[in-house]
Structure 1
């Protein structure tokens, strides 16, 4: 056993001797009511599908003038209308064919039925952006536009923190996602359960956070779970009133299971010698989307190591309250962060 593993094992033994009850701590929620963060969602999806297809070239030009950055990204990377291999006759005929395709029109109609207006989402995003400005005062506040990507991508950041949200990824659990391509793991039931309005704001904010937190420097489980723990910590600060089940993308009972089994999860990671494991086959489901965490009870959702990583970050920030979000993000040494957190899993 390596010196670092011995050190972590000794730390775990000391915790089990102390046990200790996890205190119910009152999370600090700053008053952001005085911060301006007006959100006016721009409906690129409606602007695109309302184009006059009998006069495509000038119509496309107007759209691109109204949405310069988003239009370039959308037509180049999502529709690939600027690629002569997929659009040999040029962008205008290709986009016209896209807009007139029956399945695409049906998808657009479904989006309009589910999202005739988005005032509730605007209110949620405004609140999140107030917290965003509080914790990240030097970052530009995002502009938000909606689109239809034909299931290519749920949300993305472009420009200077601007958010693009594909509404076709948020049509609700009754929408037949799994029938689109039954073999596509992206449409598995445990994932499509969250393809709804309730998860839209959280998923969009997660995308924003992913652009702020760089990838883990190393690929050990410890590095990955701490890195993902940072993201969950920031998400929790930007959406302090959202249920953990929404932020974690698990069911209510699964969120309760995580709360009730913190020590057992930590003990499992230690016992199975997984903390410094780099084999993706052994650790992937502990940090990436998965219906379950292998080796744990059936009630355990996937990505359990991320939840433990979140608790490590919370412990660190409790011990070092002077740490800013920017400073937390910059901490690359996962082992050093764990040691400094003096993390004690709740029993």
Structure 2
């Protein structure tokens, strides 16, 4: 004890010696983490690198009534595009295609999807309220909330990017049953923001369907990339699917794209509607672009001239994008 004055008969306290334990703790902990991250995981899913770059977000929400068969048909008519959709389960366990966990956003009904049966959901007008295309054109045209089975049945040759929504128990099992029944394991990529949901899906599907990283898994990969450890990582996923920016902060960079490719992963970015942004992101090497304007992206990757959007606006000045929702 520097500067301490000892009274007669008192013995100075001995300093506790930790030896080399603190110096060994960091390396040992780090080694354990690396061993855990590099451990090979079961499952035969391969990275779908040969998929087309055009991913029709909700079927192309700026050119058709989102998440309906009508929108998917319009997207399919553009050619070889990926159909992106949102899946959740009804009260009776059927897998339906709808983004919001409530029907209020796009239909003429009210209530939670998980509390309504398929019959009740099918009574609703799926195009009553449409934030991108406007409801007037599609309202009262008989458009219904589709089931996932219907999508696979009507589009047997198209790839499907499936976003798990909702928190209803058993959703992952129900989705896997539909995918397996359709024999669509190799043409489906499943994603979910919540780590427990995507982990449950991987378990029930035995890793036979490609999946994308959850938000937490994406953060882990990004951190490992900064540390130069991404090549050692053996991730349980085959794709990264970030936005370019989130709440004003840059998420996607050319360096991240390179690191993902180094690790054998594909990179898809959402949701991009402006042609100038599409060109820039393709130059970075992204594998896919989720867009509400698949018609613009199809023309771009095919070498065509810029096209106007569904309301006549130039593609360089699209309607405002929803950056906070995939």
The answer to whether TM tops 0.5 is no
Which gives a bigger RCO, structure 1 or 2 (Cα 8 Å, sep 6+)? 2
TM-score of the pair, normalised by structure 1:
0.23
Compare the two structures and name the one with the higher helix fraction: 1
Compare the two structures and name the one with the higher strand fraction: 2
Larger radius of gyration: 2
